[in-house]
Amino acid sequence: MTSMMQPQIILLKEGTDTSQGKPQLVSNINACMAVADVVRTTLGPRGMDKLIHDDKGNTTISNDGATIMKLLDIVHPAAKLLVDIAKSQDSEVGDGTTTVVLLAGEFLREAKPFIEDGVHPQNLIRSYRAASNMAIEKVKELAVSIEGKSLDEKRSLLAKCAATTLSSKLIGGEKDFFAKMVVDAVIAIGNDDRLNMIGIKKVPGGTMRDSFLVNGVAFKKTFSYAGFEQQPKKFHNPKILLLNIELELKSEKENAEIRLSDPLQYQSIVDAEWNIIYDKLDKCVKSGAKIVLSRLAIGDLATQYFADRDIFCAGRVAEDDLHRVAAATGGTVQTSVNNVIDEVLGTCDVFEEKQVGNERFNIFSGCPSGQTATIVLRGGADQFIEEAERSLHDAIMIVRRAMKNSTVVAGGGAIDMEISRYLWQHARNIAGKSQLFINAFAKALEVIPRQLCDNAGFDATDVLNKLRQKHALPSGEGSLYGVDINTGGICDSFANFVWEPALVKINAINAATEAACLVLSVDETVKNPKSESAQGDAAGMGRGRGGGMRGRGMRRR
Catalytic residues: 64, 97-98, 394
Q: Alpha helix (H) ranges present in 295-408?
A: 300-308, 319-329, 382-404
Stated as kind and residue range, the H or E segment containing 359 is strand 359-365
d(CA 394, CA 400): 10
d(CA 509, CA 347): 47
d(CA 429, CA 510): 24
The end-to-end CA distance of the chain, in Å, is 48
What is the DSSP track for 156-222?
A: HHHHHHHHHHHTTSTTGGGHHHHHHHHHHHHHHHTT---GGGEEEEEEEBS-GGG-EEESEEEEE--
In this structure, are strands 373-379 and 198-204 parallel, antiparallel, or unpaired? Answer: parallel
d(CA 348, CA 363): 10
What is the DSSP track for 464-477?
A: HHHHHHHHT-TTSG
368 close to 347: Cβ distance less than 8 angstroms: yes
- Helices (H) and strands (E) counted in the chain, each on its own, are 18, 20
d(CA 136, CA 512): 12
User: Which segments within 216-256 are labelled E, that is strand?
Assistant: 216-220, 234-236, 239-243
Length reported for the chain = 557
129 close to 513: Cβ distance less than 8 angstroms: yes
